[in-house]
Structure 1
């Protein structure tokens, strides 16, 4: 009887659909990439699964060179997986259901709302239409700009078109995959390519709730912006500026020493934006100083904005915790910002997410160091940071690496696959799913008693 009750809650839980859809798409993608038509060199199933997981989870970590080891068919499959992963497999399934005039279940509506909006919407069609129009319009414009750049580099029209579309989707979805042998390193002095990729990443990780609210404001001609909008945008901009200034400070006489000042600024902004979950780099990450590696780690943990194509704990989580601390220091009993009080349950949710996220980093990092005792990064100048960087990059669905990924053994690959998958479906969703399935909500409270803290 208890098992039947748990099973019913399992079937109703909205996170079930998200987890199942990503897992199924991941497995199908791995099978397709494993087919002989998809790869030009020998490819094991674990490497196909790693690549599929990295693409569907829009991470970008690779154990096989996308340009050299995969055929055009394989690269096209990766492109489709990135697009599915960026918007969410559930989003496409709901869009198809609405397109054929099917009614949505409450679970589907709830999953859609939790993925893209801070509040419930009675108009799922309008929300989905906004998401798809915004996504494909942004990708098309970025692809057009990249096409002109690649044609200027001497690429033939057919190849230039595919490269432009691939990189536009990869950048907007914050995936970090590239069909160039050395990624974007060959374009490290191409201002236009770097700026277009930066713009695509920004448009992808700013979050669909921001776009939806902007359009609603224009349509309804309202002036008041929501607290979610202001917290998201302000934190987003502050982090970009912080990352860019940090890279300029730490690398102006390092990896950026031979760059002109305009190029230093563009490169610093590019890596600041990319580090938040995109995973593109125009300079080998292993060449950065340890100070910059720490900055990368901070930005990767924070990640993108909620309701976007990126991962991490999200900008609003950082904002809520920062506001809570600042409000406490000013004597407020709860988090206050912009003359608005943040609900206690949301503060608790933010604290829970950060605690679980940091715990997951420690667990995966311990497992990776335990399974990879002979990998060269232990003897590199970054030593301990190499493994930590890899785990944070995977869990935050970023895709940057100091060169560790290609050195992973079987267990190391499995560890990173799990980190990428959990990072994409969302740690809090996964934990709430596991906890709520087996337990009914507690209708009672216990008496309070104080303890010493600090």
Structure 2
């Protein structure tokens, strides 16, 4: 028996080494989804029987840290089922292999070539940051922020009259959910009841912004404080500037132009406007107001914020601020007839521009295809389909309330979009279509094209 297992293990290891880094990520996350679906389907983790499709939807949503659900997490799964969901979005938040690689570094201080290839593929890092420093900051920062969030949530829930054990479990669950920008909640209507609770809003915003700004920013600041010679990277500056500008613009639009928010009083009005804009950009997916009542122009504003997202190598989804900045730089340089592509006074390497434009085109195409497919079976308005699709691919979790009403085909479409969103559109594309360059491909003739 042991020989059989050893033979199988050798063949499996050989097969893994033969896969590309992108394929390893694809199969790794698929394994988590499959395992999560299997566990959630067991009756011992359920309060009542749930279809396999709904369990698959929940597991995919958790691993992808999206937060869209077709069934209530609290009403459907018991404590152990909720714990499984929490473990899935914790794994999805910090990334495939991150924890195991950290343990490897802690014990052997050596990073295998296989681990390094996969982590480099999953986390896009500037050249100023090494993967070893990055991994340590990921684990350390995650533990610190989630622990801090759990403590603050506990006091907030306890002060609201919640029993001790219930406060403790809700604090841990929602702290991890907020930091991983997972958007899962144990409350029936999310955080709508806490719309004017400044302390709860602050805790969620602190955790979501910390997670979504990304571990690049955290690592960069850590090295900046530790080493006087280290300077903040250009990537960090773009992320911080872009995030601040888009968050202010989004909050302003909602504060002044969304009727369901303008009807509120001064303090609560600002709090609600800021929270929805923050939730959209960080892709945390919590809401303190019903998006189903938003007017069309503001739904489009929120959709754009979900489309952009926050930072690469963080817990947020979307095309990322850096991708939007690169595409904007290309457009601006072309309109100015400049031969160099610059942003904030710096020239951007062409390799990064190719990646950014590819991600922008592929991501936008997937949204169009997603809406097109959903329009065959779903009987809701076009803007609701667009909102749901952008939320799924951006791993946001916000909805106008149509998720539970989706047909089986619609649920499968959203499942695929959520999975691709977590994996990354380019990683998914490379895992499916990439191939080695052959000699015949290298000899392809170059031709001009009118654009």
- TM-score when normalising by structure 1: 0.91
User: Residues 103-182 of structure 1: matches in 2 within 5 Å?
Assistant: 103-119=110-126, 124-182=131-189
Q: Tell me the residue number matched to 1:435.
A: 433
Tell me the distance in 2 between the aligned counterparts of 1:209 and 1:124.
10
* Structure 1 residue aligned with 2:351: 345
Q: Distance in 2 between matches of 1:258 and 1:122?
A: 47
SS at match of 1:256: helix
**2:50 corresponds to which residue?**
43
**Unaligned ranges ≥5, structure 2:** 1-13
1:413–1:102 CA distance, 2 compared to 1 (3 A): farther
Aligned equivalent of 1:262, options 267, 270, 280: 267
Q: Is the 8 A contact 2:290 2:400 kept in 1?
A: yes
Correspondences of 1:351-370 after superposition (within 5 Å): 351-370=357-376
| 1:178-219 deviation per Cα after TM superposition (whole angstroms, max 9, x unaligned) | 001111011111111012111111001001111111111111
Counterpart contact for 1:206–1:304, Cα < 8 Å: yes
CA contact (8 A) 2:255 2:262 kept: no
Name the counterpart of 1:73: 80
| Cα deviations by residue, 1:212-255 (Å, 9 ceiling, x for unpaired) | 1111111111363221111111111111111101111212xx21
Structure 1 residue 194 and structure 2 residue 192: aligned?
no
Give the C-alpha shift of residue 440 in structure 1.
4.2
Q: Taking structure 1 as reference, are residues 44 and 320 closer, same or farther at Cα in structure 2, changes over 3 Å only?
A: same
Match of 1:3 in 2: none
1:122 CA displacement: 8.8
Cα distance in 2 for partners of 1:28, 1:386 equals 31
Give the alignment's TM-score, normalised by structure 2: 0.92
Output the CA distance in 1 between the equivalents of 2:17 and 2:230: 42
What is the CA-CA distance between 1:286 and the residue it aligns to? 0.1
Q: Equivalent residue of 1:221, what SS?
A: coil
2:448 counterpart residue number: 449
Unpaired runs of 5+ in structure 1? Answer: 1-6
Q: Which residue of structure 2 aligns with residue 4 of structure 1?
A: none
What's 1:19 paired with?
Answer: 26
How far is 1:445 from its partner? 6.2
Query: Over residues 279-313 of structure 1, what are the superposed CA-to-partner deviations in whole Å (9 max), with x where a residue is unaligned?
Result: 11001110111111001110111112100011111
Q: Determine the C-alpha separation between the residues in 2 that align with 1:402 and 1:268.
A: 17
Partner of 2:399: 401
- State the number of aligned residues: 436
CA distance in 2, matches of 1:94, 1:181: 37
CA distance in 1, matches of 2:436, 2:136: 36
- Please name the residue that 2:384 is paired with: 386
Match of 1:240 among 241, 247, 250: 247
